[in-house]
Amino acid sequence: MRHTKRISIMAAVLVLFTALVGYAAYNHSGDTDSNIFRTEYPNTVGTKLDSCTTCHRGSSKPQDPVTYGSCQWCHYVTNYGADLSEATLLKTLNSYGLAYKNNGRNAGALQAINGIDSDGDGFPNQIEIVALTYPGDVKDDPTKVPAPSRVISLKELEDMQLHTQFLLMNASKSDDNYTQYGGVALENLIKAIMLDSATGGITVYSPDGFATYHPFDPNTNPNSYHVFGTYPQGTFYYDAQADMATNPSTGWCNYSSPAAAGRINGSPIFNPEGLKMLLAFERDGEYLTPGVLNLQNKLDGEGPFRVVPPQKNPGPPDQRSTAYKATDPTVWVWPYIASADHNAGFSSRTVTMIKVEPLPAGTTDINTLEAGWPFVDEKKIVIYGSIDPYPVDNLNRSLDLLIDTIESQNGKVFKNKSSQKALVNKIEAIKKQVAHGAYSGALTKLKEDVLKKTDGCLSGAVDANDWINDLEVQQKLCSEIQKIWIMLVLIGA
């Protein structure tokens, strides 16, 4: 059983996140509010209302490239429990949590605010709670139904095109690492199932209550960690002073990854497919260690799944913010810089849920607590929101788009005059298999026949089997082929 020992920081915070061990909750020491709420509303136990988001809000720090979920926001505002003054704690509350606090913070307070519409969505708090919608979120009300969702297993992800990339995981307070992650490019996975209405980004959730938002578009925020597109090429930085192996007492960077062997200081970090935001399930060729709660009720481990963005602004592995003389460049190489790109801190660990935003009209969040710790044990992840869970229509559109893309190319990029038409004929054959429900055969033909004619871009050079001599054209086709591959896996190949 997962350890749920109670801890003391933020004892005054109100209703806090519920971790699931057969729907068993963990709370901060001294928290009576969660039990008051569950006693007053037993229908909420094990639902999305049995969480910090019922009374607490998320927000963002102006200098950071992501939006924080309610757990991170509480930690940031209170400086991880160092400031528990009433004025500070009030900053963490949403309209419902504030009403509860102002009316006495007890069972009577819950009863007193039952008839109030705290979030202004037209429904009194009690009606919302009975309907299992958030009484402190104007976007959530009883008229809405749960958004479309799809549970994806590790096995399904392994059946998709594997994307591996070596990169720096630069942290603020903990060790930095050069390592290689393997998984699925999130761009391909999300584009394979997203609806046209999905124009925002994704919110990534871990079962310990943390949530992080990433926009689709790289231009939404110049410093944001975006889902679509590639990240800039990195640089490998090495110095013995930073190496934890050669300088165990004061080093701060782990270079032990096999993928780091033979690299020299200043060499480029290059990936033929580009560095991308990754839904990772491997690290250095091994499955990610599943996350667990340690004795301090904090998350250890990073798997089965982790969302890994490369650095948006590549730089060296700077020292920990807590390091001795970390800011003195005359003593240490790469001193800590608060404004440096610390991508490791935004690489969500033990991810069990991804919300594609915005939610479709008339829908609301699924019961998010169902995708808690059991999903870690079962090696599953749920994607929900503005998606098509079984994207047959997307598949047919993508096959047509692939044909259009091939036909629109100048014939000179093909190996010979007949290659262009022959490649289109192969896609047409896949369309016929899809029309007859032969998804497994369609996937085999896509991987073993079509992709092998266009896969030089995966290694960075045109190979003997390729029918296209232009790597840029290959890259365009490969991206679409990988999305089709994902759709065929999800549909049931």
Reported as a single tens digit per residue, the pLDDT across 254-286 is 999 999 999 999 999 989 889 999 999 999 999
Residue-wise pLDDT tens digits, 3-42: 332 223 333 333 333 333 333 344 555 678 888 999 999 9
Which of 15-19, 210-214, 465-469 has the weakest average pLDDT?
15-19
Same domain, 364 and 396: no
For residue 192, being part of any structural domain is answered with: yes
162 shares a domain with 127: no
pLDDT digits (tens, 9 = 90+) for 281-324: 999 999 999 999 887 777 899 999 999 999 999 999 999 988 76
Do 67 and 119 fall within a single domain? Answer: yes
| Same-domain check for residues 175 and 135 | no
Note whether 313 and 190 are same-domain residues.
yes
| pLDDT, mean of residues 196-206 | 93
SS3 labels along 73-140: HHHHHCCCCCCCCHHHHHCCECHHHHHHHHCCCCHHHHHHCCCCCCCCCCCCHHHHHHCCCCCCCCCC
Final residue of a structural domain among 104, 123, 143? 143
Same domain, 190 and 336: yes
Residues 401 and 483 in one domain: yes
Is the distance from CB of 29 to CB of 7 less than 8 angstroms? yes
Q: Do strands 380-385 and 353-356 pair parallel, antiparallel, or not at all (unpaired)?
A: parallel
Identify whether 1 is part of a domain. no
Residue 306 located in a structural domain: yes
pLDDT for position 79: 79
Shared domain for 248 and 325, answered yes or no, is: yes
pLDDT at residue 361 is higher than 90: yes
Domain span at residue 73?
A: 33-143
Same domain assignment for residues 377 and 401: no
In a domain, residue 26? The reply is no
How many domains, the chain?
Answer: 3
Within a domain: 13: no
pLDDT at site 432: 96
Please tell me whether residues 323 and 228 are part of one structural domain: yes
Confirm whether 135 is domain-assigned.
yes
475 and 413 share one domain: yes
Domain boundary among 143, 173, 204: 143
Are 134 and 58 found together in one domain? yes
